[in-house]
Amino acid sequence: MMEHAWLIPIFPLVTFLVLLLSGGRLRDRGAFIGIICTLASFVLSLLVLIERFKEPTYNISIDWLSFGGTQLSAGFEINQLNALMLVVVSLVSLLVQIYSKGYMKGEVRFSIFYAYLGFFTFAMLGLVMAPNLLQLYIFWELVGVGSFLLIGFYFYKLEAKAAAKKAFIMTRIGDVGLLIGIILLFWETGSFEYGEIFQAVQSGMISSEKLTLIAILIFIGAVGKSGQFPLHTWLPDAMEGPTPVSALIHAATMVAAGVYLVAAMFPLFMASSAAMQVVAITGGITAIFAASIAMVQKDVKRVLAYSTISQLGFMMLALGTSGYVAGVFHLMTHAFFKALLFLAAGSVIHAIHTQDMEKMGGLWRKLNWTGPLFLTGTLAISGFPLLSGFFSKDEILMAAWENGSYILFGLAVVTSFLTAFYMFRLFFMMFAGDSRSQAEQVKESPFIMLIPMLALALLAVIGGYIQTPWFGTFLGEWLVEGNEALLGASHSEGPVWIMLMAVLVSLAGIYLAYMIYVKKKLSREWLVKENSEVFRILENKYYIDEIYHFTAGYAIKGFSIFLSYIERFIVGGLVSTVTSSIEGLGKVGSKLQTGQVQQYGMIAFLGLAVLLVIFAVTGGYLR
Amino acid sequence: MNVYLLSLLVFSPLLGIVMVALMPKKEERTIKQFGFFGTLPPLFLSFFLCSQYYSGVALSIFDIKLNWIRFGNLEMYDPKLFTVDFELGLDGLSLIFILLTTIISSLAAIASIYIKKEWKGYYLLFLILEIGMLGVFTAENLILFFIFFEMTLIPAFFLIGRWGFLEREKASYSFLIYNGIGSAVLLVAILILFARTGTTNIAALTQMMTMGGVSLFAPISGSMKYGLCLAFLVAFAIKLPVFPFHSWMVRVHAEAPPSIVMIHAGVLLKIGAYGIIRFGMGIFPEQYKSLAFTIVLFGVLSFLYGAFLALVQTDFKLVLAYSSISHMGIVMMGLGALNEAGIQGAIFQVISHGLIAALLFFLVGALYERTGTTMLPKLGGLAKSMPIFSGFMLACGMASLGLPGMSGFISEFMVFLGLFKSQPLLAAIGVIGLVLTAVYVLRAVMLMTFGKNDSLIEKEKWDLRGWEFLPTLVLLGLIISVGVYPNLLGGPLQGTIEAMMLALGGR
């Protein structure tokens, strides 16, 4: 089955091409094509995963580009990590496409939406299957385009336009870092293939400074894609896209690509402790930084966006503290519960046509399905015991502790608390209390939107049981199997009190949210008044956007304008000098046309004399 | 038959010229059709040559050599000296350029349907221009090269000056002056070489200058070689163009009719790159090598300068003009990298930019035809009224900013791959341009297609239609094919690049 794995990304590509070429004539039928093709991908991915349990890594490639004596190849590889990713990506994509059939109903460009989803799914699956860094980079950029197209799907909205552009450019900055990293790595190891690179790294051929530099450059790519500080600003804005897109791209798959990249290049990072530290610290800072912003945002999707950034920071922190399995595990569980949260939020938005939390409330009784589903996701992300997020977050905390990074461990614990708090703040503001909505009739979403949410909710509940301290660490053992560099990383050990503390911390967060937003024991107004400075900074997201705008934005624009003056006056001056001197030459030449034979004769004679002198001096030739 | 094939190829547009010339002036439709048909014989002949190449035929069997001009009657010399033969030849590099020329010419002939007046003169000049371009890429000696080179200048001058936009005459004058200066420098260099070596045959010169030991008619000192190499580089840098010689090209891009800019940006500028590879690098490898740093430096300067300026333009045509300067900077960067990756990347960039620029200017032509403007502030929201056009525009913009899966990525990637090996510092400065490119391309494309616009009065059936799909689909198809499977283009180039690298002294 694995030899046919190349078909997995081809199916969604077919969707894209068919729907694009049909030019919107298929309308609602476009959804069927999309769903059927993605279903095929999903089934195939599942079969590949099952086969991968029994068989070793599969790898095939063909010559793709040759220069000099170098042959670059293209192909695909099925190892543990990407077999798992294939299933996660195709599953979430499938569920989102089913959901979109209900959510996007009535949209004029319905089939174009599915075409873009197909393109994105193609690129994401291709990214995951890439056997070498160059191919990864190719698909890495293509997912960026898919994201760009979908964020800008409502192209006539100015916010969507700006958000799409920002997303593309911010991630491009990271991508350039990645590109340089790949190129430097190529000249150090002579290859783009993972296997050969890791061999070269382990043989100690590369100096440690170079190794650190390369690892950090590659990490910059991951920072851009995964919305890590300081390149995170595009991700909240990306919420301008349709909500199913946010669930698929900006929660479950593309933004996780950065984490995937670090995981896929793990042996390289392991070889440089400085780079690992950069990864861990960036992750830790991002986690707490984004969580603090999420506490005060008023837009449902933005809260979820900052939550995504924060959770991705968590994963980076795990990877940076050698918690390979913890990072990948959380990547998987997060994909399920965050996609669920977005889809459920979309279901709410679908019902009451607003994203403003202040205008919601009391929806628990009205949305009988969405409410419990949203609650499931909220509990899972908060680390409520026995749900998937509990296990994966626990694994991360253990990893940080085991690594001896106590400061980062502390950061992670605080972030857990904040996470539980802001998620339940969100939940209570939406579902508890009295209705503040202006919508008169609130209708539960159709069946076709509920089914995918139910599937994700199920996974968000049980997804954690493949790696628990009690029932065995199946995932971890399988992931590190046959990979010497990762040996012994299948599971992190730590004292029992860590798990207890994690539970207490998340319960405390939930309790605090409950006291403020349901019981109103703590007045919100009072809190805001007492800490108005802090609130202002948080509400303005630490003014990062403004800082970028006034520094980099103005600098580039100013420099461009400066250059356009140079262009006009200096280069333009050069041009007019050239033209006027040629004109002048012509005028002098025409003055010589006097018609006097004596004068012509004299000039001819002088010319001859000059030539003779030259001849005499040089002996005939200029050398 | 094979021997005459190249001459047939080069002069095959004559058939179209005769057909157009015999038509009465007013027959607009027929002239346009004949003009287009005139570009088909070279197209098919080049396809035939290409198929021959892929079926394994050695390209040298198409070489032709006829006695043509003999200077003086110097019996004491070898009779081969001081002769200029009519000699055409083909290798992998020129085959690719020939294909680029024939394909873009045919598509530009289709785009010429937007030409509003004096069709007869237009197509006559257009076809003469094609002869010139084909000749440039097949000429086997410098004199013949120069003649064909000049043959492209004159028709282009009239085509810009007669059929362009408002300030067309000014543009065509600065085109002529700059290219004239370039030609003058080139001519001096060619004549000195001829006088010194007694031959202008490129292969013979290459051998003489690189192998050494071959007795020259008259010795050339190192500094003279240096000067000649510099002269070739300057002449072709003006053509490419490289900062600070670029302003003529900005005007031409802005004022020439879009169909001619397709040719101009697609092929004519590329003669500059071809010349640097063939003559600068080919004939004077040692001197070229010592100039590599300067070449890369000017490449990076052009790359960044063009990108920064493209960022603040309000006319879409000017955005594209500065973007062309920027992209030609990449060519210089690759050529200065002095390794296989860089040089092959530069050639890829030449071809890739040819295709992308041609497509972009075709779209500009289609846009101007409908809206009567290319000013960005006046446009916007085209995705609503012209979704297909906007889709092509976006795809083409993505190609231009080097999106993987399209030709531009392969070339940029290879150039930077090569450059990080040989000049890491300049390469690190250059990568800033990759971000800037994304910024200015997205800015321009999104200003046109995204958002809303009420000032444009939209009409029914505005979108691309009918024959307009031919150039767009062909060009986009080529851009994607090269991007998806670059060995398609890489194959024919290997021989030429290997020979270059050998002369340059390994990697």
Nearest CA-CA partner of B306 in B179, B441, B427, B504: B441
Q: Between A and B, how many residue pairs show a Cβ–Cβ distance under 8 A? A: 141
> What is the DSSP code string of A62-89?
EEEEEETTEEEEEEEEE-HHHHHHHHHH
Contact B99, B137 (CB under 8 A): no
pLDDT over 70 (residue B186) = yes
Note the pLDDT of residue A430: 85
Note the pLDDT of residue A485: 61
pLDDT tens across A567-590, in order?
888 888 887 887 788 888 888 888
pLDDT tens across A456-483, in order?
999 888 888 877 777 667 777 777 776 6
Please give the average per-residue pLDDT across B388-392, as a whole number: 90
A67 with B340: Cβ contact below 8 A: yes
> What is the DSSP code string of B371-421?
HS--BGGG---HHHH-HHHHHHHHHHHHHHTT-TTSHHHHHHHHHHHHHHH
Note the pLDDT of residue B359: 93
How far is residue A613's CA from residue B464's CA, in Å, rounded to a whole number?
69
pLDDT over 50 (residue A211) = yes
* B:319-348 residues touching chain A, CB 8 A cutoff: 339-341, 344
> What is the DSSP code string of A503-540?
HHHHHHHHHHHHHHHTS--S-HHHHHHHTHHHHHHHHT
Neighbours of B187 (CB within 10 A): 17
Note the pLDDT of residue B463: 81
pLDDT over 70 (residue A255) = yes
pLDDT over 60 (residue B214) = no
Locate B248 and state its tokens: 């003529």
* B:416-475 residues touching chain A, CB 8 A cutoff: 416-417, 420-421, 428, 431, 434-436, 438-439, 442-443, 446, 449-452
Contact A110, A104 (CB under 8 A): yes
- As a whole number, the mean pLDDT across chain A is 86
Note the pLDDT of residue B1: 66
* Nearest CB neighbour to B247, from listed A183, A559, A571: A571
B404 neighbourhood in chain A, CB within 8 Å = 137-139, 141-142
Give the gap in angstroms from C-alpha A253 to the nearest C-alpha of chain B.
20
Give the range among A289-293, B66-70, B204-208, B450-454 with minimum mean pLDDT.
Answer: B450-454
Task: Output the CA torsion sign for B378, B383, B384, B388.
Answer: positive
Percent of chain B whose pLDDT exceeds 90: 43
A172 with B220: Cβ contact below 8 A: no
How far is residue A339's CA from residue A83's CA, in Å, rounded to a whole number?
20
The residues spanned by each domain of chain B are: 291-507
Contact A328, A81 (CB under 8 A): yes
Radius of gyration of chain B (CA): 22
ipTM surpasses 0.95? no
Note the pLDDT of residue B429: 92
Distances (CA, A) of B256 to A11, B28, B168, B387, B456: 44, 21, 6, 27, 24
* Nearest CB neighbour to A173, from listed B218, B340, B435: B435
pLDDT tens across A84-135, in order?
889 989 999 999 999 988 888 888 888 888 899 999 999 999 998 888 899 9
A65 with B487: Cβ contact below 8 A: yes
Task: Output the CA torsion sign for A7, A8, A12, A13.
Answer: negative
Percent of chain B whose pLDDT exceeds 70: 94
Note the pLDDT of residue A484: 63
Amino acid code (one letter) for A402 = E
Please give the average per-residue pLDDT across A206-213, as a whole number: 88
Note the pLDDT of residue B15: 92
Locate A612 and state its tokens: 């003779």
Nearest CA in chain A to B307: A560
Please give the average per-residue pLDDT across B182-201, as a whole number: 88
Distances (CA, A) of A45 to A11, A85, A125: 12, 9, 10
Contact B248, B241 (CB under 8 A): yes
pLDDT tens across A32-67, in order?
888 999 999 999 999 988 888 888 888 888 888 888
pLDDT tens across A353-405, in order?
888 888 887 788 888 888 889 999 999 998 888 888 888 888 888 888 888 88
* B:250-289 residues touching chain A, CB 8 A cutoff: none
Q: pLDDT-derived band of residue A439, with 50, 70 and 90 as boundaries? A: low
Q: pLDDT-derived band of residue A140, with 50, 70 and 90 as boundaries? A: very high
Q: pLDDT-derived band of residue B481, with 50, 70 and 90 as boundaries? A: very high
Give the range among A11-25, A267-281, A511-525, B69-83 with minimum mean pLDDT.
Answer: B69-83
Task: Output the CA torsion sign for B240, B246, B248, B250.
Answer: positive
Note the pLDDT of residue B506: 46
Q: CB within 8 A of A602, min separation 6: which ones? A: none
Note the pLDDT of residue B507: 37
B218 with A152: Cβ contact below 8 A: no
Q: pLDDT-derived band of residue B127, with 50, 70 and 90 as boundaries? A: very high
Pairing of strands A70-78, A58-67: antiparallel
Nearest CA-CA partner of A247 in A377, A433, A413: A377
pLDDT tens across A213-237, in order?
999 999 999 999 998 988 989 998 8
pLDDT over 60 (residue B213) = no
Please give the average per-residue pLDDT across B54-58, as a whole number: 83
B247 neighbourhood in chain A, CB within 8 Å = 567, 571-572, 574-575
